């Protein structure tokens, strides 16, 4: 999508948030970039009391030096280190963000800021072995509010089918990026614990690809009954 269109969408969402002044924000659908405006808004509203859990197989922490896609640099933008014109007005500190569900062995050169920014991270294995790790992180930092970016790609394609790597007729092993390993029940447990650890003021559910519904619609679209 052209930069001008993305900036227009960002400005529009920022305008709605500035007018409505909500205490909490729920975002459903879209790619990872949909969290930029609401999480920046929540950062301005709650300051250092806000912790952000980025539940994703990919870190989304690139900059314009490594990527031309806004959805690949949302975390950098929230830290004030992303693309010009898209950086947060209320940047988060690195210790306010944790990357959860990250597949470290599949990190790419474009993901080096995971280490450069010193953002804490937890792999699926660590989340599975220590189910209270995220709630402990929230309590340990004294966060009173928490915002969660839940990218459905954090889920295994064998556990949840409406994600990019689970496209019918393809092999997840051929997917050109890291593939999630968590189950929906595991994520639900993590979110429940976070909800009990602090006030959940932000939640994004992103990257939903309802393959079966989309393919069914396309397959039946030529029928005269549906014209």
Reply yes or no on whether the pLDDT at 17 is more than 90. yes
Tokens at residue 140, please? Answer: 């340990």
The confidence score (pLDDT) of residue 129 equals 94
Reply yes or no on whether the pLDDT at 205 is more than 80. yes
Band of pLDDT at residue 67, cut at 50, 70 and 90: confident
Residues 6+ apart with CB under 8 A from 211: 161, 162, 166, 167, 168
Q: What is the mean pLDDT of residues 198-220?
A: 96
All domains of the chain in start order, with CATH = 3-221 (3.40.800.10)
142-173 confidence digits (pLDDT tens): 999 999 999 999 999 999 999 999 999 999 99
Poorest-pLDDT segment among 6-15, 38-47, 73-82: 6-15
pTM over cut 0.85:
yes
The confidence score (pLDDT) of residue 1 equals 60
Average pLDDT over all residues of the chain: 93
Which of 7, 46, 1 lies closest to 23, judged by CA? 46
Band of pLDDT at residue 60, cut at 50, 70 and 90: very high
Q: Which of 57-66, 80-89, 217-226 has the highest mean pLDDT?
A: 217-226
Rounded to whole angstroms, the Cα distance separating 39 from 36 reads 6
Q: What is the mean pLDDT of residues 179-198?
A: 96
Band of pLDDT at residue 25, cut at 50, 70 and 90: very high
Which of 111, 34, 114, 117 lies closest to 66, judged by CA? 111
3-state secondary structure the chain: CCHHHHHHHHHHHHHHHHHHCCCCEEEECCCHHHHHHHHHHHHHHHHHHEEEEEECCCCCCCCCCCCCCHHHCHHHHHCCCCCCCCCCCCCCCHHHEEEECCCHHHCCHHHCHHHHCCCEEECHHHHHHCCCHHHHHHHHHCCCEEEEEEEHHHECCCCCCCCHHHCCCCCHHHCCCCCCCECHHHHHHHHHHHHHHCEEEEEEEECCCCHHHHHHHHHHCCCHHHC
């Amino acid at each position: 999508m052209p930069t001008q269109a993305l900036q227009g969408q960002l400005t529009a969402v920022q305008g709605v948030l500035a007018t409505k002044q909500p205490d909490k924000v729920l975002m459903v659908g879209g790619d990872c970039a949909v969290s930029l405006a609401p999480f920046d808004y929540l950062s301005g509203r709650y300051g250092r009391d806000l912790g952000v859990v980025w539940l994703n197989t990919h870190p989304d922490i690139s900059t314009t030096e490594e990527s031309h896609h806004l959805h690949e640099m949302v975390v950098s933008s929230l830290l004030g280190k992303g693309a010009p014109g898209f950086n947060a007005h209320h940047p988060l500190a690195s210790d306010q963000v944790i990357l959860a569900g990250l597949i470290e062995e599949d990190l790419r050169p474009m993901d080096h800021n995971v280490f450069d920014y010193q953002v804490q991270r937890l792999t699926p294995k660590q989340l599975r072995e220590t189910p209270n790790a995220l709630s402990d992180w929230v309590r340990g930092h004294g966060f009173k509010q928490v915002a969660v970016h839940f990218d459905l790609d954090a889920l295994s394609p064998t556990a949840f089918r409406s994600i990019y790597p689970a496209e019918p007729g393809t092999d997840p092993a051929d997917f050109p990026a890291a593939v999630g390993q968590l189950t929906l029940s595991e994520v639900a447990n993590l979110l429940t614990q976070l909800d009990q650890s602090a006030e959940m003021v932000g939640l994004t559910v992103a990257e939903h690809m309802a393959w079966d519904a989309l393919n069914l619609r396309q397959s039946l679209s030529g029928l005269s009954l549906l014209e």
